[in-house]
Amino acid sequence: MSAQILDIGLSIAQILLVLALGLALFRVIRGPRAQDRILGMDTLYLNAMLLILVFGVRTGSDLYLEPALIVGMLGFTATVALAKFLMRGEVIE
């Protein structure tokens, strides 16, 4: 019984994360300002990382933890670099 509830919950989580990915992608493409596009990209990588983790929980494998960590680190670095570029006009000082 509890395995069935977990399976249903993971399915719902995956569907909602894919929906959130689509909405974030819409914000990246359609965002009226550069700040909106950066926030959309930040949300996009965060949702992608969570989708990888939920898929790893569903399969029962810890193989998906490292790719999720890499997506998180690269996404954070990209967000900081783009924010710094918008504030100062250059990334490397």
Residue 65 sits in a domain whose CATH number is 1.10.287
Q: Is residue 10 part of a domain?
A: yes
Residue range(s) defining the domain that contains residue 78: 2-88
Helix ranges, 1-93 (H): 2-30, 34-59, 65-88
Q: Tell me: the pLDDT tens digits for 44-90?
A: 999 999 999 999 999 999 999 999 999 999 999 999 998 888 888 87
The candidate with the shortest Cα–Cα distance to 58, out of 87, 23, 15, 91, is 15
Q: Is residue 50 part of a domain?
A: yes
Residue 91 · residue 81 · CB < 8 Å: yes
pLDDT at 93 over 80: no
Q: Is residue 93 part of a domain?
A: no
Q: 7: pLDDT confidence band, cut at 50, 70 and 90?
A: very high
pLDDT (mean) for 21-34: 94
In the chain, the number of structural domains is: 1
Q: Is residue 13 part of a domain?
A: yes
pLDDT at 18 over 90: yes
Q: For position 92, what pLDDT does the model report?
A: 72
Answer with the residue of higher pLDDT: 20 or 86. 20
